[in-house]
Structures are given as C-alpha cells and as structure tokens.
Amino acid sequence: MDKYQSYLEESAQVAINQKGLKDIFLIFAEETRARVSKGGGVYFCGNGGSAADSQHLAAELVGRFKKNRIPLKSVALTTDSSIITAISNDFSFDEIFTRQIEALCTSKDVLIGISTSGESKNVLNAIELANKIGMLTISFTNSNESSITKKSDYALKIPSLETGIVQQGHITFGQLLCMYLEETLT
C-alpha cells in the first residue's frame, strides 16, 4: 500500500474510532453550555494549525454554524498580532495566552487549549492559569497522555499520533461543540 493510501486508511479508521469519544464530548459540551448560558465565553488557543482551528471555531460561535442566531461570546487568543508580538517581545512567547487570559477571562469562562502534541508550553501555561482562575479547561490533543491532558478538566484525545489526522479530529469535535451550543442555547 502506498503512503497516500495508508494515510487515507488511517484517517478513515480514526474517524470511526472517534465515536468512542462521544461520551466525554457530551459531558464537556454540557458544562460549556452551562457556563455560556450564565454569561461565560469560550476562549481558544493553539499554535500553527491549532491556531487556525482556534480562529475557525471562534468564528463559528460568534457568527453562525448552521443557523442564524444570537452571537455567542468566543475569542481566539491567537488573532491579535500586536498583542502576541508585544507579549513575545516584552515577556516571552510562552506567555502569549496567559497575559490575555489575565486581561479577559473570569471563572465563568471556558478555555479550549488545542495542541496536537499536548506539550505546547504556551498552551500548558494557559491551561494552568485558567485552572487557577476557575475556568473550565478542555484540551484537544493526540492519543498520548501529555502535560496538557494531565492539567485539563477534560481531555479530548484523538486516537492517532499523525498530526494531520489528529487535526481533522480536533476540527470535527470543535464543530460538534459549535453545533451543540447552537442547538442548546438558541
């Protein structure tokens, strides 16, 4: 089997295996709904492709996923280049999300940290600070137990170690969360 066929086969198998994550998904989706219904927001962070997923998912919540409705409070902490570069320059790249969480978030909010490896230092720092504040913390990672999954209230571990396939799972469950919130809050 060639490498392209192998990748497609793994992608299809992981998609089937993701059905086993439905129960944990429904638990954190409902906890997220409860916080948003009381005025909380959903904040996302990640690097690279996970930053892009963060932006995509925040846009679905503020804009719309499937139906026109009131906007839901959501922010991708990956989008303000002036803030990110200032914090990186004046403090450290490891603090680009924590400084924003300090400025913007409260215990009513939810943080979803997306890290394919589960070891991104800035995402780990964000999860740790969010926990101290009392935010609900959710991580989207690969199948390994990682620093980030150990610190999160809930860990969605996509059953693969292949970066692109893990990212497919992240966007699938991110969009399921958007669908869940849209259906239960509006």
Q: Can you tell me the distance from the alpha carbon of 20 to that of 32, in angstroms, rounded to the nearest whole number?
A: 20
Report if residue 19 sits inside a domain.
no
Report if residue 136 sits inside a domain.
yes
pLDDT value at position 186? 75
Report if residue 174 sits inside a domain.
yes
Q: What SS3 state is found at 67? A: coil
Upper half-sphere CA count for residue 110 (Cβ side, 13 Å): 27
Report if residue 119 sits inside a domain.
yes
Among the listed residues 46, 43, 44, 42, the one whose alpha carbon sits nearest the alpha carbon of residue 120: 46
Report if residue 16 sits inside a domain.
no
Report if residue 113 sits inside a domain.
yes
Total domain count for the chain?
1
Q: What is the largest CA-CA distance in the chain?
A: 52
Q: Range of 118's domain?
A: 24-185
pLDDT value at position 144? 96
Report if residue 7 sits inside a domain.
no
Report if residue 53 sits inside a domain.
yes
| Beta-carbon count within 10 A of 62 CB | 15
Task: Read off the pTM.
Answer: 0.96
Whether the Cβ atoms of residue 22 and residue 55 lie closer than 8 Å to each other:
no
Residue 30 belongs to a domain with what CATH number? 3.40.50.10490
Tens digit of pLDDT at every position of the chain (186 positions): 699 999 999 899 989 999 999 999 999 999 999 999 999 999 999 999 999 999 999 999 999 999 999 999 999 999 999 999 999 999 999 999 999 999 999 999 999 999 999 999 999 999 999 999 999 999 999 999 999 999 999 999 999 999 999 999 999 999 999 999 999 997
